[in-house]
Chain A
Amino acid sequence: MTLVVLASRHDQTVGGLVAGWGDEASLLTCRDLCAEGWWHCPHGELGASVIGGRPIGADQIDGVLSRLPSVAPSELGEIHPGDRAYVAAEMTAFLSAWLSGLRCPVLNRPTAESLMGPYWRTEKWVFTAAKLGIPVVTARRSVPAPMDDAPADLLSSSTEVSVVGQRCLGDGDPSLRQWAMALAAEAGVGVLRARFTTTDAGAAFLDADYWVDIANPEVSEAILAYFAEGRHR
């Protein structure tokens, strides 16, 4: 099974995940895009990539985990400083097209706004959760932002639930897992981290994102299982 993890070259945690998955997994950073041999036809053949110096046909890839919302100019140390913003935009646009053209499972499929899935701010998550009937903590913000705008008392006791495909990982009342799954379905994503005020049935939704804890062996195994199942579908 050939797996690819797209991440920032500065991401410290992703190396452990890739190493844990063994020879089947490759780390793809923007440095790999500065290599001869990539080609992609959006309306025809799938093309080829060069990851870690190794040519890989797009049809050989069995799964991609995206941990990169976009390529930042700061990632492009090899590029002339005056060109970094342009090249970053070009690489992001290319990756968006490349990822969306792959036939294998991609967690999460890119959207026009982000290589990790829909770009939803806290307010969008809370609004969506409330519309789904999930109890929420009202999201508030102001301009100028107060220096201590994080609701520290809520965050200190909060709990996380992670969704990976049809698996849901996290402690607490089963309703939390149902709510997290409902949010993932509404966003159309396979990977989601939802945060709630407490673990009990009286919990309220705080926020969500796609940064599941890949250092957690349960999460890592769930992602691997998701790709393995996709390969056999």
Chain B
Amino acid sequence: MILLWGLPGDSPMAQVHEALIRMGCAPTFFDQRATLGACAEMSVDAHLTATVTTDEGVVDLRDVTATYLRPYDAQDLPAVQQAGPDSETYRNAVQLQDLLHSWVELTEALVVNRPSAMAHNCSKPFQARQLRDLGFNVPDTLITTDPAAVIEFRERHGRVIYKSVSGVRSIVSELTDEHLPRLGNLRWCPTQFQELVAGTDYRVHVVGEQTFAAEIRSAATDYRYAGRQGHDVTIQSVSIPDEVAQRCVAVSRAMGLAVSGVDLRRTPDEKWYCFEVNPSPAFDFYQSATGQRIDEAIAGLLISGSDSPGTADSLSAVTPGGHNH
């Protein structure tokens, strides 16, 4: 049994769901909104057993061979917010979420991806240390509450960007002279600055042993927000050096991620920098631009029930646009 857990309207989830159906698999879908009233039982000693009972029946989680997770925080679901923290709906939703999180950490099924593995992205510098240890170049970084340190750092590198330290999404922006009068605000919270690495952006999606590389061209500092900044963005499927692709697979595997989105930048002198590894990538944005069938690769991975190479027929062929390593 393949289990999907999230919201059906979430685009990556919907695309994986549809790909599974196209490939002849009927997954079990825990729609977070539809399972707010679900009951669940779990018991753990040397063995793990768990069941979830919904309106559609009882699901024995021992039957799950693979699971794809993109749950929203239960507390953010509209029905849960509306019910309020003292409600049964709220308690049930939070308890079910925690029970399932506990189960995915213990199950022998393939989990895409475990929360403990995804947590690496909660601290960018914490993750960056791993990236550097695994062989990627990473930008020189300063986290500080000290305006003088920022000025010295900028003088050293010429051009500097700032962005969030945590996994909370932020718009990467260049530090300019206009910001300098506000550096006194740094004292309220350590803030992350990085040398601006000039070059071309790449997003490499890793699915098990496969990689899907896309080149992104934009004049924006943060191409995700190019439109807001009045810039265009073009994305195309490309080949990247095998060594770089293999490193992406190795990094993903070292972090315990069966699927990931690796953000790279290639400098004019052919150095490859890694900024971040996204453990729950919204691959649909890149898929729609490149035609790479990342959804089918994920579906194939789930059907194989393993992210190890050569364990299933579904992985023996390269998915269109992808490369095996």
Contact = CB atoms under 8 A, between A and B. Distances in A.
A112 B126 contact: yes
Given A143-B39, A143-B41, 13 more contacts: A38-B143, A42-B126, A42-B143, A43-B129, A43-B140, A78-B188, A86-B168, A90-B168, A100-B129, A123-B106, A126-B45, A127-B44, A142-B40
A34 B187 contact: yes
A186 to B, nearest CB: 14
29 contacts: A36-B147, A40-B142, A42-B125, A42-B128, A43-B141, A86-B168, A87-B188, A89-B122, A89-B164, A90-B189, A93-B124, A93-B125, A93-B166, A93-B167, A94-B143, A97-B123, A97-B126, A97-B129, A112-B120, A112-B121, A112-B127, A113-B119, A119-B116, A123-B103, A127-B46, A127-B48, A127-B106, A130-B45, A144-B88
Interface string B24-46: 00000000000000111111111
Given A33-B189, A139-B45, A41 B122 contact: no
A34 B129 CA distance: 25
Interface of A: 33-44, 47, 50, 78-79, 86-87, 89-94, 96-98, 100-101, 110-113, 118-119, 121, 123-124, 126-127, 130-131, 136-145
B168 A37 contact: no
B99 A141 contact: yes
Contacts, number: 179
Contacts of A131: 46
B140 A144 contact: no
Given A90-B190, A94-B190, A145 B45 contact: no
Nearest to A89: B166
Nearest to A126: B44
A122 B231 CA distance: 50
A94 B88 contact: no
Nearest to A123: B44
A140 B138 CA distance: 44
B95 A145 contact: yes
Interface string B128-161: 1100100000101111111101000000000000
Which of A43, A136, A137 lies at the interface centre, i.e. has the most chain B CB atoms within 10 A of its CB?
A43
A158 B176 CA distance: 60
Given A97-B126, A101-B129, A144 B188 contact: no
